[in-house]
Structure 1
Amino acid sequence: MFYTPSGPATGYDLLHAAHKLAQQLPDCPVVSLCQDIWSFTVLFLAVVLRGQYLLLSSDRTVSRLTDLVQDYGAVCVALENDLPTEGLPPNSLVLPIGARQAVPQEGVHLSANPVIDSAQLVAVVFTSGSSGQPVGHRKHWGALVERSCVARDLLDPEQAPATAVGTVPPYHMYGFETLVLQAIHTRGRTTTGPCAYPADWQALLERSPAPRILVTTPLQLRSLLRANLALPHIARVISAAAPMDMAVAHEAELTLAAPVMEIYGATEIGSVAMRHTTQTPLWQLYKGVVLEVAGEDASISAPGAPAFPLSDFVEPLPERHFKLIGRKSDIVKLAAKRTSLAALNTVLLAVPGVIDGAFLAPEEDQSGALARMQVFAVAPDLTAEQIMQHLREQLDPAFLPRRVVLVEAMPRNSVGKLTVQGLRQLAAQEADGVQLGTLCVSPDHPCLPGHFPGQPVVPGVVVLEEGLAQAKEAPTHILQVKFMQPVLPGQQVVFFLKTEGARARLTGRVGGNAVLRATFRVAHA
């Protein structure tokens, strides 16, 4: 079922490890901290054996995982051989997975292969938040099994069973479906091990028996092509999580001598359609999937999954095909003109020398002169003005940004998606300026008694004075001070400073939320 760095793992190995781990788990939902596919799968089945469910989020920040624990009465669990690089949330469990047991001889007890109720809730998978706040969606065992079997015919159509090699994590719905569920529900096999860089993907492919399927994203496929590594033969490339650029698809098919197939789906319902990117713009629905379109609105349903409204504009076509027009949330209207973020980003990424980047639409409550696009780009060999000149030649003035901000890297998540939240945070960081230091007032600080009795709040003047001290500027005149929300004892305030000529702006944030904004004039300018 799996090819791990220490050797092949059978279904018996998986059952033995899952039963052993299940005995150590509490009776509550589990937030999996596993990154390795084998470790993740063992923990997943152990949780199912306990009659509980996993919480899967592509946002792996400690604050997000801690929120899930509190909201669901859950516990974060990591395995000793697979600790998360992001750090452990408070009160996490770190459990041993144990060595795999050799295949038993006749008469030796085998771990039970359980019958799992098709209606059992086994996972709650959260959307990435690419178009808003993450939302959890419940996944039941029977529906996942049925969907895995249907998808197998399209993912793995060759006569011999294929081995999947993934560049995506198992805690995202895409990786969960293709790398975990395919291995435990169908004949498919998955190779596990480190998968952060192109050299890791090369090593995984070299350890995998043919035929090999590469499960990846457009961004990671582009990185693999740029690495120019010698790779064993790949039978097909599967891509999802973002639209595939046609030029990248053609280059991949030429370089890897393998067809590039795209999956269409969503966390809410999983994968529902596929297409051969370089051969057709049309998507082929999976067996049992029903697409209904009424005007500009569409909904889609699948076995075991209720109908949900699509966030895309689609055109239904005969023989269970459809054409994807674009995302509803991508539409941008400025100065009585209309375009899409996808079209704008295509123009930006086509600029020679731009490695990565994106447009950010203005907030919904902005209008008039404030309603301007923002652009962030990774382009080590270009200036912001050079990129802006290319954009002026290609775009309507209504959609030109006020300026281009060059950054070292875009805030993409583990499957290469850019979320609205991530881009807004990047914009806020750019607006805030340089990070200075932090302030954390302990509960026994002398400034707290009397401010206020029974509900202590850090005095605003203490926050302001510390921020000005860290700014190391000499204010000649404080123009404005706003305390946005109270700072409580034990909370950490992070200070930022941005100077423009004789003016400086000091910002204090707690958990990303602004608590202080102060504008002042500086003496040295």
Structure 2
Amino acid sequence: MSELLIAHRAPEARIAVRAGAPIGAGQFVADATALARQLPPARYVLNSCRDRYLFAVGFCAALIAGRTSLLPPSRTPEILAQLALRYPDTVYLADEAGGIVALSGTAAPTHWQPKQPNTNASAWPPPAIAREHVAAIAFTSGSTGEPQAQLKTWGGVVDGARAEALALQLDEAPIDDVVLIGTVSPQHMYGFESTVLMALHGPCAFAAEHPLHPDEVRAVTTQSSGRRVLITAPVHLRALVESAQSMPALDRVVSATAPLALELAQRCESMWSTRVFEVYGCTETGMVATRRTVDGPVWTTMRDVRIEVCGGEFHAYGGHVRPGPLADRLRPITDSTFELEGRAGDVVNIGGKRASLEGLNRLLLSIDGVIDGAIFEPPAVTDSTREQRLMALVVAPNITRAELLAALRAQIDAAFLPRPLLRVDSLPRNAQGKLPKAELLAVAERALGSTRRQPKTSRTVARAGDARVD
């Protein structure tokens, strides 16, 4: 059994857009085939290309050459070095001067440039790839610990892309007019599935650019014609809304990686006359369910996917997903609908009282003037005479610490008020908007150190375990 490399029906069909210029499916196949011939010998391809077109060409070149792509959870030197040690038989792909450089061991670098749009370069029909081929190894984000490898077969990811397109109702009008614009990295499973695979097998098109800041998002969206679909994350959406940037028409907005606040979804729909959907899933299983946020808290599973309870855990199975446990607590309604109740391990117990960290963070981010923030458990105290408290880092340049605590105190039990609550310039979110645990704790330690070094005055409280600046 096999699946075509792409599902576009003709070589002239639009598969990508770069700076507003369309790139045809035939040219894409020609580019991927040409790069496949130039790849140095290796079992794995570590694809760190930021440009989404170059990433997709590199991924498809690896498929044509029978290789497996490694999708790094981030592009930090530390992560790339870890993967190089773990997978020594690897060729490394990176962006270089509008093209791709391939590095492998001590061999000389291989340089490849895509053909310019509107040239006669075209290859058709697209080749077929065996469904059982391990197309990619994705890695968990590392937000809760060491990134873990997850094998993804070609058949599984193709089925997932088709299921997502149906769940988002992209087929309610001709899908070939859709252009996917992503603020999330193509190496992350959500970005990989929703901005690359869904274009290859929707089939539709994607924007080559990787905009992140509001002005970049607006620029890429403006130059991309068709039914624009913004693939993003809550932290990016919040920044876009707060910037008050005018936006061209958006057919819909898709969000994932963290729960999206109802109020934020409502603002997006009102400001941009669009519809906001969320995708729920994880790297381990793949995409599981969707909902339109303003319609309520109920999620509906994707085609043929079901939820069951096994040994106190919630498992997804059926359809395109890889059967396995989910990291969240659910409230099942039927075997295909449910409500999310928070992460399985995010319930904290302080003074005999219990609360969800996800719920506390939702309340923090709902405070007017809070740009970003995180409430979390610091490392456990070793002094048995001190009670464990929560900690918070908040980006809110126009709100005092006292105002933040007053707003929280009005909504949560005093036991869960974060002490210390420290204001910072930014949080160490990765390209997907997640907060890796190690980086978060490092920022917290630096913020605490800065607070403790401040001179003591009548407005400074700095006692052990409760460093606070009023």
Instruction: Give the TM-score normalised by structure 2.
Output: 0.85
Q: 1:69 touches 1:75 (CA, 8 Å); kept in 2? A: no
**SS at the partner of 1:306?**
coil
Amino acid at match of 1:262: E
Indicate the RMSD between aligned Cα atoms, in angstroms: 2.7
Structure 2 residue aligned with 1:154, among 167, 170, 177?
Answer: 167
Distance 1:430 1:83 in 2: 40
What is residue 396 of structure 2 aligned with on the other side?
A: 379
Q: 2:137 touches 2:151 (CA, 8 Å); kept in 1? A: yes
Structure 2 residue aligned with 1:248, among 253, 264, 269?
Answer: 264
**SS at the partner of 1:116?**
strand
What is residue 281 of structure 2 aligned with on the other side?
A: 265
Residue 329 (structure 2) pairs with residue 313 (structure 1): yes
- Cα distance change, pair 6–263 in 1 and its aligned pair in 2 (3 A): closer
Structure with the greater alpha carbon radius of gyration: 1
- Cα distance change, pair 318–78 in 1 and its aligned pair in 2 (3 A): same
Amino acid at match of 1:34: C
What is residue 14 of structure 1 aligned with on the other side?
A: 28
Residue 212 (structure 2) pairs with residue 199 (structure 1): no
Deviation at 1:6, TM superposition (A): 6.7
Amino acid at match of 1:270: G
Q: 1:360 touches 1:423 (CA, 8 Å); kept in 2? A: no
Q: 1:77 touches 1:95 (CA, 8 Å); kept in 2? A: no
Name which of structure 1's ranges 234-243 and 419-428 shifts more when overlaid on structure 2.
419-428
Deviation at 1:412, TM superposition (A): 0.8
**SS at the partner of 1:65?**
helix
Deviation at 1:348, TM superposition (A): 2.2
Structure 2 residue aligned with 1:133, among 146, 163, 173?
Answer: 146
Amino acid at match of 1:271: M
Distance 2:152 2:453 in 1: 50
Q: 1:27 touches 1:52 (CA, 8 Å); kept in 2? A: no
Distance 2:111 2:450 in 1: 42
Deviation at 1:79, TM superposition (A): 3.0
Amino acid at match of 2:41: D
Residue 429 (structure 2) pairs with residue 409 (structure 1): no
Distance 1:83 1:369 in 2: 57
- Cα distance change, pair 204–56 in 1 and its aligned pair in 2 (3 A): same
Runs in 1 of length 4+ with deviation above 4 angstroms? 88-94, 101-104, 364-368, 431-434, 498-502
* Paired residues, number: 433
Structure 2 residue aligned with 1:49, among 46, 61, 64?
Answer: 64
Structure 1 residues without counterparts, runs of 5 or longer: 435-497, 503-525
Deviation at 1:117, TM superposition (A): 0.9
Q: Deviations over 1:314-348 (max 9, x none)?
A: 12223721111111121111221110111221232
Distance 2:54 2:323 in 1: 33
Distance 1:217 1:192 in 2: 18
Distance 1:62 1:374 in 2: 29
Q: 2:73 touches 2:188 (CA, 8 Å); kept in 1? A: yes
Residue 249 (structure 2) pairs with residue 236 (structure 1): no
Q: Deviations over 1:277-330 (max 9, x none)?
A: 111211111112121124742111244543111111112223721111111121
Amino acid at match of 2:69: L
Matches within 5 A, 1:7-406: 7-28=21-42, 29-73=44-88, 74-81=90-97, 93=109, 95-100=111-116, 102=118, 104=120, 110=123, 113-155=126-168, 156-161=170-175, 162-294=178-310, 296-303=312-319, 305-318=321-334, 320-363=336-379, 369=386, 371-406=388-423
Deviation at 1:433, TM superposition (A): 4.8
Amino acid at match of 2:435: L
Deviation at 1:101, TM superposition (A): 6.7
Structure 2 residues without counterparts, runs of 5 or longer: 1-14, 457-470
- Cα distance change, pair 432–96 in 1 and its aligned pair in 2 (3 A): farther
Amino acid at match of 2:263: A
What percentage of aligned pairs have identical amino acids?
Answer: 33
Distance 1:259 1:6 in 2: 24
Distance 1:169 1:94 in 2: 24
What is residue 476 of structure 1 aligned with on the other side?
A: none
- Cα distance change, pair 94–301 in 1 and its aligned pair in 2 (3 A): farther
Amino acid at match of 1:59: S
**SS at the partner of 1:288?**
coil
Q: 1:80 touches 1:97 (CA, 8 Å); kept in 2? A: no
Q: Deviations over 1:368-421 (max 9, x none)?
A: 515221111111123333323433443323222332111100111112112322
Q: Deviations over 1:161-212 (max 9, x none)?
A: 1221222121111111111111112222112224122222222222223222
Q: 1:205 touches 1:232 (CA, 8 Å); kept in 2? A: yes
